[in-house]
Each structure stands twice: as structure tokens, then as C-alpha cells.
Amino acid sequence: MPRRRLTEEERELWLRVARTATRLQPSPDPRADTRTSPVPDPQAKAPTPAARPVAPLPQSFVRPSATKPIAPRIRVDLAKPVGEHLAQQPVRMDRGLHKTMMRGKLEPEARIDLHGMTVAQAHSALQGFILSAHARGVRLVLVITGKGRTKGRDHVAPMPSRAGVLKHEVPQWLRMAPLSAVVMELRESHRSHGGTGAYYVYLRKRR
């Protein structure tokens, strides 16, 4: 089939379109490799991603092991025993008589038992007993307070812990007026008279 030639009008129209067109840059060869960095080996295995570090749990969230042994609770008592404190006091009575008394060889002439009394009742009873004994000329009396209930082995106190209210109150009362004026000596008794649960109270001579 013979090729048709353009008419004058078609030629003029084509020239107008050609004048407004912009020349394109030739496309690069797709087979050319312009990369400058190392080319990875397609046969190599993909690298394993590094494991992210795990942050430690807060201490409040860490659960103790069920098999971890529990440390035993320790009973702390920094208070000095009353008997030890009294034993360090200077001797005011005759020393020979004092040795005889501490060996349990000096028999008390009167005694009072404060067991079962409240603090107020015991204070009033002790004061009346001591003043009455001194008025009669009695020299050695025995005041029974009891040792008090012992705290359990697992008891822990933030402050010094002492057993027996009356055991610790009686020495204080005997050092206060009006009893301090008639009391010469105060010691824990010999075990034959009650040991740490009683006190020897040696009174002054009646004037």
C-alpha cells in the first residue's frame, strides 16, 4: 500500500506542535551499574537482628524465691537488767551484814507480795508497808514483785524491752520520797527468797 503524504495543512499543524515540544534526555542503559558502594552477595544469608537488651525489673516487682531460707528474727534488748544495775551501786549498810544477806543467810523480818495488784494498788500498799515496818523498828523486809512475763523468742522491739512492770517500778518508788528517807539498801534477793522476782529492802534505824 503506497504511503500517503501529508497535506499542507497537516504539515503546518505538525510544525506548530513540534515547536512547543521539549527534547528529552536519552534514557541510560538499564544494564549499566553506577553504584559505588559494595554490592551484597545475593547468595549470602541475611544477618540475624541483634537482640535488644532487656531492662531489669524494679526491685518491687522481683518475687523472692519460695525456697530461699528466712533469716531468724533476733531479739534485741539493750536495757540493763535491774539486778545488774543495783549490784553496781555502792554498799551503804555494814559490809559483813551485806554479804550475809546476799547469801540468803539473813532472814527477812517482814514481807509483802504485790502479785495481782495494779500499779496504783501496789504503790499504795508498798508505801504503807515500808513506813509501817520502819515505825516498828524492822530492818530487813522482802518485797515480792514477780519476774513478769517473758517476751517470746520472736519478739522484736525498736526500743529496749523489759518484762514486769512492778519489778521495774518498785526500785523507783523506793528512791522517791517519802520512802527514800527510810530505805538504806536495795538489792535483788537470793534465790532462796525469790531471786530476781523479789527485793531485799534494808531500812534505816528508827530515831
The three-state DSSP-derived secondary structure of the chain is CCCCCCCHHHHHHHHHHHHHCCCCCCCCCCCCCCCCCCCCCCCCCCCCCCCCCCCCCCHHHCCCCCCCCCCCCCCCCCCCCHHHHHHCCCCCCCHHHHHHHHCCCCCCCEEEECCCCCHHHHHHHHHHHHHHHHHCCCCEEEEECCCCCCCCCCCCCCCCCCCCHHHHHHHHHHCCCCHHHCEEEEEECCHHHCHHHEEEEEECCCC
pTM of the model: 0.57
Strand order in the sheet with 110-113: 110-113, 140-144, 198-203, 183-188
The per-residue pLDDT for range 41-74, each reduced to its tens digit, is 666 666 666 666 666 655 554 455 555 555 444 3
- Number of domains into which the chain is organized: 1
Domain assignment of residue 100, yes or no: yes
Which residues span the domain enclosing 184? Answer: 90-203
Domain assignment of residue 130, yes or no: yes
Domain assignment of residue 156, yes or no: yes
The per-residue pLDDT for range 96-135, each reduced to its tens digit, is 999 999 999 999 999 999 988 999 999 999 999 999 999 9
CATH of the domain at 125: 3.30.1370.110
Domain assignment of residue 174, yes or no: yes
Domain assignment of residue 195, yes or no: yes
